[in-house]
Chain A
């Protein structure tokens, strides 16, 4: 927020309304549409003057007014469905606002998905040109930076191979490489830094950081709060489509973490920000992280713990995936019941509860959260981020104290040293 450049983005009362029912499945069939028109006409005929039954609406974004100056790097954080992606879609002209307006000064490059428009039948070379054009690069510009893009993606040898023969890692790298060499004045990025292997992610992150330093205006959406904290000086917290905080990145992140915790302690059935892929035949009711003795939600590092998930309905093939994340939203460990082991049990006495027993939770002291994904009938039924929080107190792993301060990483392992005397 230091050198205040000219205005890059200025919005006033921006809002986006979706009509529900249409939004959930998108399209209609002619029959439904005709019968609805018929019903509406009948209703109008019966109650003259009144309009037909209004279809439920959802404001994905409302009253969004703010100014972003050229050269600012702004993080956009908030729950699922808070309006982050909707805002990016409006600013990149994919969809129109329902009210209000936004003035955007400068060429906009938006990266809402890695590899949009990649065609499996086309070769790597052809896809670079197609994808570059889709992202708004001129042909001459792509040609100039072609070698750089290919080198970044590390796919030189396979340039004339159709992308359908690439491994998924290769095509993701190539797609990100094209996007990373985009040179717009304003860059909109949605959760795309989480692709590829760890080494590639580091490289992508470094690239983004250098883009941010070049004085371009960047808006980043990420669930990884460490990324937001590292890249952005300013962050905006969205709640229910409205601005809940517009502050320095650490302050906004802090506010978001507190909001997350509040939501986790409430009845989880009240949470509106559920995974949009869920069929919702069974819902996550409560998630508890409990040591065998003592307080819930306080765990001694290296000690045993049970994560219990209460659901509303027992379905065939009920499966659960738990992800433990650190305080910055970075995943630490995943436990997936679909990877079957002979030590697992299916027990009718459990009722509507799934339990994951961890013998030795070798986490460093700190605050962690649990994301839950529930599957049943071989489909995703429900998903919640930050369904529970817990604190890890300093403890022992294999009789060795876990470093409480100044340690890197989030986990440790049972280990033994051999030292010269």
Chain B
């Protein structure tokens, strides 16, 4: 039953299946990676992941007076404000579309991303009793925030399509690209939110930095202005911001337009994957200390 005590300490919980099918888990100090990124571990706790996500969705809609209306209200009201100030008063272009439609198409994915960062950054601290009293892969906590955000995003996207149709525009087959764009946005959101959530456990100033950082991020993403304002040579550079490809992709997929911005989407997808890998790696490295710090 007892194995040799000294083993390379790479994975904290090694499983050995013995003859009786009851498995033995070895708990020991760990170094390096492989906790978050262990698929078996995530799969084992899948039901809990689902329950946490369901909780986040239920609570989000039950707690607020307006409930699901929020999902729509937030981008729509912002669209109205932007249309007045940037469209009417500042005469910022909108790539050949009406400014309200143009800004709404960008605001729908942007609102999802911004909310994921804002709520994700607080998620671990907000669930401190869960983290310090039970075990499960901690990535489920910021992950659930993003899954709950997807519900908002779906509602807002349906409204966006309705608005586009009501405005007399046609929906083209390009709309089929939306799931891909959403996937890119999710990867970028999870990568960033997991870093922020983990850093917030250690440094409580993070929660003050996030709203500010999100605002700046909005202005380096072509939500209020068309990407044509950016010199052509620079567009591929700013596409390293994953939300550039996502927002441009939404403009094209929902409003139509001449060419598909595949180059931008490709660069942004690569950047989002890098962000996801880096974010999870950081989360993985610091996860083992969460319970001691909360």
Interface centre among B3, B30, B129 (most CB of A within 10 A): B129
- Main secondary structure, interface of A, reads mixed
Q: Which of B24, B51, B52, B58 contacts A103 (CB 8 A)?
A: B24
Note all chain B residues with C-beta closer than 8 A to A100.
Answer: 28
**B69 CB, nearest partner CB in chain A, Å:** 18
Q: Check if A49 is an interface residue, CB within 8 A of chain B.
A: no
Contact across chains for B205 and A29 when beta carbons are under 8 A apart: yes
Q: Check if B219 is an interface residue, CB within 8 A of chain A.
A: no
Contact across chains for A6 and B1 when beta carbons are under 8 A apart: yes
Question: From B56, which residue of chain A is reached at the shortest CB distance?
Answer: A119
Q: Which of B13, B133, B293 contacts A27 (CB 8 A)?
A: B293
Q: Roughly how many angstroms separate A129 CA and B52 CA in the complex, as a whole number?
A: 10
Interface centre among A33, A97, A133, A139 (most CB of B within 10 A): A133
Contact across chains for B25 and A134 when beta carbons are under 8 A apart: no
Contact across chains for A98 and B291 when beta carbons are under 8 A apart: no
Q: Check if B2 is an interface residue, CB within 8 A of chain A.
A: yes
Within 8 A of A (CB), among B197-229: 201-205
Beyond A33-B203, A106-B22, A116-B130, whether A93 also contacts B292 by CB under 8 A is no
**B158 CB, nearest partner CB in chain A, Å:** 25
Contact with A along B47-85 (1 / 0, CB 8 A): 110111011001100110000000000000000000000
Beyond A104-B27, A133-B51, whether A23 also contacts B203 by CB under 8 A is no
Contact across chains for A7 and B1 when beta carbons are under 8 A apart: yes
Note all chain B residues with C-beta closer than 8 A to A139.
Answer: 47
Q: Check if A199 is an interface residue, CB within 8 A of chain B.
A: no
Contact across chains for B26 and A102 when beta carbons are under 8 A apart: yes
Q: Roughly how many angstroms separate A112 CA and B130 CA in the complex, as a whole number?
A: 11
**A342 CB, nearest partner CB in chain B, Å:** 41
Q: Check if B282 is an interface residue, CB within 8 A of chain A.
A: no
Contact across chains for A130 and B55 when beta carbons are under 8 A apart: yes
Beyond A12-B5, A102-B27, whether A26 also contacts B59 by CB under 8 A is no
**A11 CB, nearest partner CB in chain B, Å:** 9
Number of interface residues of A (CB under 8 A): 51
Note all chain B residues with C-beta closer than 8 A to A136.
Answer: 48
Q: Which of A18, A28, A121 contacts B62 (CB 8 A)?
A: A121
Note all chain B residues with C-beta closer than 8 A to A112.
Answer: 133-134
Q: Roughly how many angstroms separate A90 CA and B292 CA in the complex, as a whole number?
A: 11
Q: Check if B256 is an interface residue, CB within 8 A of chain A.
A: no
Q: Which of A12, A27, A116, A133 contacts B204 (CB 8 A)?
A: A27
**A383 CB, nearest partner CB in chain B, Å:** 21
Contact with B along A1-31 (1 / 0, CB 8 A): 0000011001010000010001100111111
Contact across chains for A133 and B48 when beta carbons are under 8 A apart: yes
Number of interface residues of B (CB under 8 A): 47
Beyond A7-B1, A96-B29, A101-B28, whether A134 also contacts B134 by CB under 8 A is yes
Q: Roughly how many angstroms separate A93 CA and B58 CA in the complex, as a whole number?
A: 28
Question: From B127, which residue of chain A is reached at the shortest CB distance?
Answer: A117
Within 8 A of A (CB), among B120-158: 127, 129-136
Beyond A27-B202, A100-B28, A103-B26, whether A117 also contacts B130 by CB under 8 A is yes
Note all chain A residues with C-beta closer than 8 A to B288.
Answer: 95-96
Q: Which of A22, A94, A105, A110 contacts B23 (CB 8 A)?
A: A105
Contact across chains for A28 and B2 when beta carbons are under 8 A apart: no
Beyond A113-B129, A122-B59, whether A101 also contacts B26 by CB under 8 A is yes
Note all chain B residues with C-beta closer than 8 A to A121.
Answer: 58-59, 62-63
Note all chain B residues with C-beta closer than 8 A to A117.
Answer: 127, 129-130, 134
Q: Which of A91, A105, A122 contacts B24 (CB 8 A)?
A: A105
Note all chain A residues with C-beta closer than 8 A to B59.
Answer: 119, 121-122
Q: A105-B1, A121-B63, A126-B55 are in contact. List 14 more A-B contacts (CB 8 A).
A: A7-B1, A10-B1, A10-B2, A92-B134, A94-B132, A94-B291, A96-B288, A101-B27, A112-B134, A116-B130, A117-B127, A126-B58, A130-B55, A133-B48
Q: Which residues of B contact A (CB under 8 A)?
A: 1-3, 5, 12-13, 18, 20, 22-30, 47-48, 50-52, 54-55, 58-59, 62-63, 127, 129-136, 201-205, 288, 291-294
Q: Which 10 A-B pairs have the closest CB atoms?
A: A101-B28, A93-B135, A133-B51, A105-B24, A116-B133, A133-B48, A95-B291, A102-B27, A94-B291, A30-B203
